[in-house]
Structure formats: structure tokens, C-alpha cells
Amino acid sequence: MDYKKLANLLYPNLEHDMEYYLETTPKRNLPAGAQVTRIAPSPTGYLHLGHFYGALIDYLTAYKSNGVYYMRLEDTDQKREIEGAGQIAYDMLCTYGAKPNEGYRGDYNSEIGDYGPYVQSKRLPIYHAFAKKLVELGRAFPCFCEKSENKQDILDRRSEQLENNDDIESKDPCRSLSLEQIEENVKSGKKFALRLLSLGDSEKTIEVEDLVKGKRQIRENTKDIVLLKSNGIPVYAFAHLVDDTLMGTTIVVRGEEWFPSLSSHIELFDAFGFPRMKYAHTPVICKLDNDGNKRKLSKRKDPEADVRYYLEKGYPVVTVVEYLINLLNSDFEIWRNNNPHADYHEFDFKLSKISLNNPMFDFDKLDNVSKNLISLWTAEKVYDECLTWAEKYDLEWANTLKTNKNKSVALFSVERGIERPRKDIVNFSMVKDLYSYMFEETLNKNTLLSFNEKFDKNTVKDFLSAYKTSFSLDGDNSAWFTGVKAVAEQIGFCTNNKEYKANPEAYKGNTADACSILRVAITGREQTPDLFSLLKILGKTEVQNRIDYVLNNI
RNA sequence: GCCAUCAUAGUCUAGCGGCUAGGACGUCAGCCUCUCACGCUGAAGACCGGAGUUCGAUUCUCCGUGGUGGUACCA
């Protein structure tokens, strides 16, 4: 077969050949050990948590090696493409702290870097030049078969194979077409897909060293995989070869669902004589679904698969990042405990420490990571972050925060900045509910009357009336507390717990009961942070007003 | 079906031939305490099964079993 002739027949009018692209692409000039990684999502929807998980690995790998982490848009599946998805993906990467330092930036015109276009649909001439070369090398052939691309048809075909116990991949029939037959087909205007002419032997194995999985023996590829679809658009494997070669990628990080097709990718690189890529095949994040089955986090079924979900819930972005790093390198939490204030960038992230299991997403753990992180923030930062969240998701609450800035900061300061800080905030969306009683705008006055049934109304009244006329917020906590106890004793409570326990019937209650009455009357809750701190923030007048409200309405 | 891959408590994991199998989250109990949160102490809870190798297997090998992935002109 005259491959040169075949190549010209298949790709007659190309502006440039492969060598042109190879020669005109600049060599990357990087420090020793620097790695080039890439995040390459397809714009088929919002950014999936699994994508970000991969992106984080890419980002950290490049960051740790002073390398490059670029973004490429893999828009080769027009059927599934969703308008604006590329922009969302880029924006999400930026907000989650994994901003690419090269490549696609939300739309084709604003990309930066010397290796563009970074959008695959803009690279068709390049793919065709490489395709032509492969034909010349005698390693690719046109396939004129008409196969349905409908997913159901494909599944039907597969179940047919399954019934026939059809395990050996037969070579594609079109590989044996003669030049004359091909010429005839092309001249009659028939469309063709370009396939790899596989030379693999399924009895032989290749040794690969995956950066996550370690050394593996994999079977040689024997499939004549499709490289270019009949519409001329490349399939992932081929775009991967061309782009990652040209763009100088050094490590390909991808989900382990790619591992089975690795041998075909290797055959492709070998066919061109290009150096093979280094790969890191990572586990996939799963969840336990309602039927008790473990499965991949699904775009359609699981809202938490969308990275925007965590933004809406008000989880700080570092929470999500650190939770994921935890899943990646389990010694991260030990490091975090020893370095509570350090930036996660300082952690010694390693691909080789990634566990081989598919981890299950755990909200309990996420919450724990979150509250620990937030507990270390300053009150000002908590305030700022809450406000930023509220301005996007709850405008009324945002207004409340804005008009009560000093009060809010004071509130967030309670039991913060100390050795064992309060850890009650997990995300920003819960803050309003947690502290609504502190603000006139959000206080539900009815709750101030929700005393525990064990207190009779007269006891409540007696205690609050007595307290109202005598309390002072001028001293310190213990002075205030002494005052509370004095009032309590005066109306028949016992402030000595031993005595109380010995003879509870003799008293109206103990110190805890007295505090409970006061707490409910002021906040409407049986549980709050340190009451004295709250009273001081509310101020004497407001405290008196609330007591009056209770006395008048009980 | 075939191929690949994984397998330690409810979850995330440490372990890399000899350990009372370690830690974290969650759960429960107690302490602290004016409540909650924090903190402290403690409890329950795991090596998927069977062979083999070995003086000795959670660890190595094989066979099962289970989960996951692949088997597309999707990525």
C-alpha cells in the first residue's frame, strides 16, 4: 500500500504538516523537576466535584514543583455540550483557589500562553496534520462503516456481544480495504472515521509506572480505536496525544476510569515515536446511595456533585479544598493538627500517597474540617465571609449584618481567639439561624416566652422582676454571675448544688435553672454561648426591654 | 459474558511477616460546667472467605466473594 498516496487522498488540502506544528511550538523552559499539568474538562455541565478533585491534584503537583498548570477545554462532543459550561468551570476553579496559570480563561479570546488554541474545537487543522502523518506511517486507516452513535444502540450492540460471549476484539473490517476501494469510497463522497491500525499482541504486556498506582503490567492494545470521528473531530485519545505532546504536559492526571484504555494511548504515542506521558490515575469519589450501594458521585442525581453546592451552603472554599486533600493524602490531618495556622500549600502533597480506594464522600467529616478551620478565624474574618455569602444568597440577612456590623463582630468574638475556641459555625448558611435572636430584625419575640414547663409562671415572673431591678453589666463575668445567684437565692432558688441535690423539693430550682430562665427570656433559646457576653452585646436597655416583654406577655 | 482494578470498624485511613492492629470523623458514657460549644477521660466498633508459603500471616501467592471501572465515531 502506498501510504503517502493514501494520506493525500484522505487529507488533500492541509495548510501545514505535522512537522510544522512540532517545530513552531516553543519548547518549555522550566526549572529542573518542574511538572506541567492540566485541567481539561469538557463543557458538558457544571464543574463536577470529581473534576475539581482532579484539578486540585494538578494544581498542587504543579505548585509543588514550580511548574505550570494550564486549562484546556475539551469540547469535542458537540452533542453533549452545554452553553457557558466552560466559563463556569473556569470561574469555579478560580474561586476554589486552583486558578490555572495558563490556557483557557472562560472564553476562547481571552486565553493566555504560547501553546494555544486551548480549545480543542479550534485545533482541527492540527489534529488533521497529525492524522495525515499517521496515515503516512501506515498506522491509521479510514473506516467507512456506518455505526449509530445513539447511546442505546451502543448498549444494545454491547449486550449482543455479551450474549455471544464475544471477548476478543476483532480487528476492524475496514483495515483490509484496498487503496482502490478507499479511493472509490472517498470519491463518491463517503464520510470516514480514522482508525488506528493496531499492531498490538494481546499475549504481550507493557510495563507502565503509574504515579499513583505504581508499576503495572498491562496487556498490549489490539483495538483499532477511532481517532477522528467521521465529522473530522478527534476523539479523546487522539486529542490527548496531540495536545499533551504539543503543550508539553509532563504528567497526565485523570480518573481511573481511563486506566483500561491506557494501552491504546501508549500504542498511539509509540506509533508516532513520541515519548510516552507520565500518568497518574486517581480514584473516583463515590457516595453511598439510598439503596446502600456505592457509586460514583453523579451529576444528575447528587446535588453535592456540583461544586457550587458548597458555595450555596456557605462552606468556605478552604473547607472543601482541605477535605479533598484529606481524602488524597490521609496524613494531611496529622499535619494540620500540628500546624493549625499554616496554609495548606505548605503541606507536602504527594501523588504516591494517594490511596487506591474509591473514597466515599462524608459530610460529617466535611463539617468537622469546616468548624475547625472557622474556629481559628478572627471575628472580623467571620463577619466578612458571612456578609459576602449573605449578599449573594440572603439579602435581608446581609442587611442585618451590615446595619449591625459592630454588634456582629462582637458576637463572633465571643469565645473566639482563645486557646479552645468555640466551634459552632460549620457554614455561613447556618449562622442566621444560630444567632437570629441577637438582632431586632431577626428576633422572634414569641420565643422569649418558651420557658421549660418545669418552671411555673410565677417563679419566672418573680425571678425576672427581681433581676431586672438589680442587675449590672459593668463588672466582669464572675461579678455578674454572683449577682444572678443573689437574686436567685432571694426568691427561693438554691445556689449550692450539693444542698440542692440533697433536698430539691425545698427549693424552686438551682443555679442552672435560674440561668435557664434568664437565658430564655433574653434569647429565646435554652442553649447559647456565654450569656454574660451576650447580655453585654445587647446592652442594658435591650435586656430590660426583653424582660419587660416577657413580664407583660407571659 | 470478558478484561481491569480495589478490599482494615458506619466513614476516611495507618500498617509494608511477629503490634494488646494505630489515628481521624461519627456514635455512646462520664468529667468539666449557668446551657450549648470547646476540652478531657473512657466505651463499643475492623483485618471479606478459603487454601497455600512460612516457626509465624492483616501483610506474600493462588482460588473464590463483593464493590468499582472499562468493554462508544462520550469524555
If you write DSSP's letter for every residue of A271-318 in order, what string do you get?
HHTPPPPEEEEEP--EEE-TTS-EEE--TTT-GGGBTHHHHHHT--HH
Residue whose grid cell is 430550682: A509
Does one domain contain both A478 and A538? yes
Q: Is 80 exceeded by the pLDDT of residue A49?
A: yes
Average pLDDT for residues A504-511, to the nearest whole number? 83
Average pLDDT for residues A47-64, to the nearest whole number? 96
Helix (H, G, I), strand (E, B) or coil at A502: helix
Cell of A171: 480487528
Query: Residue A155 burial (CB < 10 Å; 0-12/13-18/19+)?
Result: exposed
Nearest by Cα to A197 from A143, A251, A274: A143
- Banded model confidence at residue A148, pLDDT cuts 50, 70, 90: low
Of all nucleotides, the one whose C1′ comes closest to residue A254's CA is: B75
Of all nucleotides, the one whose C1′ comes closest to residue A260's CA is: B70
What's chain A's average pLDDT?
92
- Banded model confidence at residue A327, pLDDT cuts 50, 70, 90: very high
Is any atom of nucleic acid chain B found less than 7 Å from the CB of residue A166?
A: yes
Please tell me the distance from the alpha carbon of residue A366 to that of residue A370, in angstroms, as a whole number: 6
Cell of A432: 442566621
Does one domain contain both A130 and A278? yes
Does one domain contain both A413 and A511? no
Average pLDDT for residues A404-409, to the nearest whole number? 97
- Chain B bases having any atom below 7 Å from a protein CB: 1-8, 10-14, 23-26, 34-39, 67-75
Does one domain contain both A388 and A471? no
Does one domain contain both A464 and A535? yes
Distances (CA, A) of A396 to A304, A353, A429, A442, A445: 26, 46, 13, 9, 18
* Domain annotation covers residue A105: no
Please tell me the distance from the alpha carbon of residue A298 to that of residue A46, in angstroms, as a whole number: 12
Q: Cβ neighbours of residue A318 under 8 Å, at least 6 residues apart?
A: A97, A344, A373
Q: Is 60 exceeded by the pLDDT of residue A167?
A: no
Does one domain contain both A401 and A453? no
* Domain annotation covers residue A85: no
* Domain annotation covers residue A51: no
What strand order describes the sheet that includes A68-71?
A: A36-39, A68-71, A102-103
Q: Is 60 exceeded by the pLDDT of residue A169?
A: no
Is any atom of nucleic acid chain B found less than 7 Å from the CB of residue A283?
A: yes
Please tell me the distance from the alpha carbon of residue A379 to that of residue A504, in angstroms, as a whole number: 42
* Domain annotation covers residue A387: yes
Helix (H, G, I), strand (E, B) or coil at A227: strand
Which of A120-129, A223-232, A283-292, A339-348 is predicted with the least confidence, judged by mean pLDDT?
A283-292
Of all nucleotides, the one whose C1′ comes closest to residue A425's CA is: B37
Does one domain contain both A410 and A455? no
Average pLDDT for residues A224-236, to the nearest whole number? 95
Domain boundary among A282, A313, A340: A282
**Among chain A residues 445 through 474, which have CB within 7 angstroms of nucleic chain B?**
none
Average pLDDT for residues A92-98, to the nearest whole number? 97
Distance of CA A507 to the CA centre of its chain: 56
Domain boundary among A389, A423, A438: A438
Q: What is the pLDDT of residues A172-203, one digit of tens each?
A: 889 999 999 999 999 999 999 999 999 999 88
- Banded model confidence at residue A510, pLDDT cuts 50, 70, 90: confident
Is any atom of nucleic acid chain B found less than 7 Å from the CB of residue A120?
A: no
Q: Is 60 exceeded by the pLDDT of residue A166?
A: no
**Among chain A residues 253 through 282, which have CB within 7 angstroms of nucleic chain B?**
256-261
Domain that holds residue A135: 3-16+123-282
Of all nucleotides, the one whose C1′ comes closest to residue A161's CA is: B1
Is any atom of nucleic acid chain B found less than 7 Å from the CB of residue A295?
A: yes
Q: Is 60 exceeded by the pLDDT of residue A349?
A: yes
Contact between A37 and A72 under an 8 Å Cβ cutoff? The reply is no
- Banded model confidence at residue A151, pLDDT cuts 50, 70, 90: low
Q: Report how many domains make up chain A.
A: 3
* Domain annotation covers residue A419: yes
Contact between A120 and A74 under an 8 Å Cβ cutoff? The reply is yes
Residue type, A141: F
Q: Is 90 exceeded by the pLDDT of residue A170?
A: no
Contact between A10 and A194 under an 8 Å Cβ cutoff? The reply is yes
Helix (H) / strand (E) containing A412: helix A405-413
- Banded model confidence at residue A297, pLDDT cuts 50, 70, 90: confident
Please tell me the distance from the alpha carbon of residue A206 to that of residue A480, in angstroms, as a whole number: 77
DSSP class of A480: H
Q: What is the pLDDT of residues A298-315, one digit of tens each?
A: 877 889 999 999 999 999
Cell of A250: 509532563
Does one domain contain both A204 and A131? yes
CA-to-C1' span, A482 to B34 (A): 11
Nearest by Cα to A461 from A381, A384, A521, A395: A521
Does one domain contain both A511 and A401? no
Nearest by Cα to A55 from A258, A277, A311, A280: A280
Which pLDDT does position A454 carry in this prediction? 83
Of all nucleotides, the one whose C1′ comes closest to residue A516's CA is: B35
**Among chain A residues 7 through 36, which have CB within 7 angstroms of nucleic chain B?**
none
Of all nucleotides, the one whose C1′ comes closest to residue A510's CA is: B34
Of all nucleotides, the one whose C1′ comes closest to residue A158's CA is: B71
- Banded model confidence at residue A15, pLDDT cuts 50, 70, 90: very high
Q: DSSP string spanning A37-103?
A: EEE---SSSSPBHHHHHHHHHHHHHHHHTT-EEEE-B----TTT--TTHHHHHHHHHHHTT---SEE
**Among chain A residues 66 through 105, which have CB within 7 angstroms of nucleic chain B?**
74, 76-77, 80
Which CATH number characterizes residue A175's domain? 3.40.50.620
Does one domain contain both A161 and A222? yes
Does one domain contain both A141 and A250? yes
- Name the more confident of A35 and A107: A35
Is any atom of nucleic acid chain B found less than 7 Å from the CB of residue A293?
A: yes
* Domain annotation covers residue A136: yes
CA-to-C1' span, A357 to B7 (A): 8
* Domain annotation covers residue A31: no
Average pLDDT for residues A411-418, to the nearest whole number? 96
Which pLDDT does position A554 carry in this prediction? 83
Q: Which residue is nearest to nucleotide B26 (CA to C1')?
A: A364
Which pLDDT does position A177 carry in this prediction? 92
- Banded model confidence at residue A495, pLDDT cuts 50, 70, 90: confident
Domain boundary among A387, A418, A438: A438
Of all nucleotides, the one whose C1′ comes closest to residue A337's CA is: B24
Distances (CA, A) of A394 to A190, A197, A285, A314, A390: 58, 59, 31, 11, 5
Cell of A199: 499492531
Which CATH number characterizes residue A515's domain? 1.10.10.350
- Banded model confidence at residue A443, pLDDT cuts 50, 70, 90: very high
Which pLDDT does position A163 carry in this prediction? 63
Residue type, A166: D
Which pLDDT does position A427 carry in this prediction? 98
Please tell me the distance from the alpha carbon of residue A416 to that of residue A427, in angstroms, as a whole number: 16
DSSP class of A112: B
In angstroms and rounded to an integer, the radius of gyration of the C-alpha atoms of chain A is 33
Q: DSSP string spanning A160-223?
A: HHHHTT--S-PPPGGGG--HHHHHHHHHTT---EEEE-----TT-EEEEEETTTEEEEEEPP--
Q: Is the ipTM of this complex over 0.85?
A: yes
Q: What is the pLDDT of residues A231-273, one digit of tens each?
A: 999 999 999 999 999 999 999 999 999 999 999 999 999 999 9
The shares of helix, strand and coil residues in chain A, as percent rounded to the nearest 5, are: 50, 10, 40
Q: Is 80 exceeded by the pLDDT of residue A155?
A: no
